[in-house]
Structure 1
Amino acid sequence: MKCVAIDDEPLALGILERYIAAFPALELLATFDDAVEGVRFLQSNPVDLLFIDIDMPDLSGLDLVSRLDKKPMVIFTTAHKKYAYEGFELEAVDYLLKPITTERFEKAVQKAVERFQYKNFPNLDLSGSIIVKSEYKTVKIVLNDIAYIEAMEDYIKIHLLSSRHPVLTLMSLKGILEDLPEKGFSRIHRSYIIADAQVKSIQNKKIMLLSGQELPVSDSYLHFIEKWKNQ
């Protein structure tokens, strides 16, 4: 998801930059400490997700979003609880109260991922989840949060769109493939399963995901390339 961050406080803007950089689902196009400059950019550049502070001089985040003809998904950030109602009136994805923790940021990104997937892939029902064991815990994995799955000897790593930390579980790729829906996921290599919706391009038996991750397609799974081209 292409995103922009706007905040008049340099420290807060820097924190947002670091958080965004840690999530493969997000591509940061630009940051602005001036709301007016941010508006100019948004009016001429397609953006999927906007992180914006509410209480800013010259133009508040609420007024800025209200003025946009084509509104991206919005996650408001603010130090004041009093703006929560106005934020949700503008159909914001979420409302983050400063100081923002990484855990709270992850939850907001997950909401944005789910809305983005629903909007752009309406015929692909990945609203369900699977349950895996990881580090002595039972973990629920939302299907549309999966970017790809990687084999590591007796374990697999489930790479998520909404987290910089993959989920490690004792299972084989064959085993987890049986738990995944038939449509939406494909094995492309003895070491990789991908979420079909995350494929950006394919060239020379290499798959580029929307996150920028490049994965190989083995000869045994070349049929995936034809399937993807004909979707």
Structure 2
Amino acid sequence: MPFTCIAIDDEPLALKLIEGYIRRMPQLKLIQTFEDAIAGSEFIRHHAVDILFIDIEMPDISGLALVSALSEKPQVIFTTAYKNFAYEGFELDAVDFLLKPISFERFKKAVNKAVDAIEKKTIRNNEAEHFFIWSEYKQVKIITSHILYIEAKDDYVCVYLKNARPVLTLITLKEMLTKLPADKFLRIHRSYIIPLYEIQEVSGRKVRLHSGKEFPVSNSYYNEFKNTLNPKNT
């Protein structure tokens, strides 16, 4: 399945060149091109995009500012006529920085880096979908999306699951966190880890999950909890 991409550049000729290069690469699928950076930004917010080719110097908003404002970033390849923007581009985790005029060979190299980054991320995500823990002298497979919450009980940790009995294992909550995808689970108390996707409501320092169960958020974890729910306030 080809990787989806868009291109944003206020210069029609530069945009046409990138469009032509994209069409020469069968692993890429061009969804849209934009001369208007604001329109391109809105498109990214509402559509899944794997790779973004974007100019830096544009009239309404710079490519750097546009990418910085995105909450969910695709793989970014900056295109520009100015060398002095390279540092700022890589600070935004851009996969590459192409200096105009851009050759097709240099373009291919940037695309290969982006594809490699996407594939590595996919592998990491797949690995995070499940893990194994020891329980009652055997290894038990835990599917992360089935976890309701995790509770520390003395020297043990109990994993509560959807439509299955709880699994008790002899590890610490700190060790358990290393097995979980960091963007989906959060420790809120010395005794509890909860999945962010199970949160129904937050009232003060109490969290209620979809199951109806409530948990306290302790002082030690409150700031991290608040910043995770409201990243713009960080």
Which TM-score applies when normalising by structure 2?
A: 0.52
Counterpart of 2:49 in structure 1 is: 47
Structure 2 residue corresponding to 1:69, chosen from 52, 67, 71: 71
Partners of 2:102 and 2:120 lie apart in 1 by 26
Partners of 1:106 and 1:30 lie apart in 2 by 19
Counterpart of 2:9 in structure 1 is: 7
Q: Which runs of 4+ in 1 moved over 6 A?
A: none
Q: Does 1:94 align with 2:96?
A: yes
Deviations 1:161-198 (A, max 9, x none): xxxxxxxxxxxxxxxxxxxxxxxxxxxxxxxxxxxxxx
Q: How far 1:113 moved relative to its partner?
A: 1.2
Sort the Cα spacing of 1:104 and 1:43 in 2 relative to 1 into closer, same or farther, 3 A. Answer: same
Q: Partner of 1:69: helix, strand, or coil?
A: coil
Q: How far 1:121 moved relative to its partner?
A: 2.5
Sort the Cα spacing of 1:123 and 1:38 in 2 relative to 1 into closer, same or farther, 3 A. Answer: closer
Which TM-score applies when normalising by structure 1?
A: 0.52
Q: How far 1:7 moved relative to its partner?
A: 0.2
Give the RMSD, CA atoms, in angstroms. Answer: 1.6
Question: Rg larger in 1 or in 2?
Answer: 2
Paired-residue identity, %: 60
Deviations 1:130-189 (A, max 9, x none): xxxxxxxxxxxxxxxxxxxxxxxxxxxxxxxxxxxxxxxxxxxxxxxxxxxxxxxxxxxx
Gaps of 5+ in 1: 125-231
Q: Partner of 2:5: helix, strand, or coil?
A: strand
Q: Partner of 2:57: helix, strand, or coil?
A: coil
Deviations 1:95-142 (A, max 9, x none): 000000011001101101111111113489xxxxxxxxxxxxxxxxxx
Counterpart of 1:83 in structure 2 is: 85
Partners of 1:97 and 1:123 lie apart in 2 by 32
Partners of 2:124 and 2:43 lie apart in 1 by 28
Higher relative contact order structure (alpha carbons within 8 Å, sequence separation ≥ 6): 1
Q: Partner of 2:94: helix, strand, or coil?
A: coil
Gaps of 5+ in 2: 127-234
Sort the Cα spacing of 1:123 and 1:13 in 2 relative to 1 into closer, same or farther, 3 A. Answer: closer
Counterpart of 1:36 in structure 2 is: 38
Once the two structures are overlaid, the 10-residue window that deviates more, 23-32 or 113-122, is 113-122
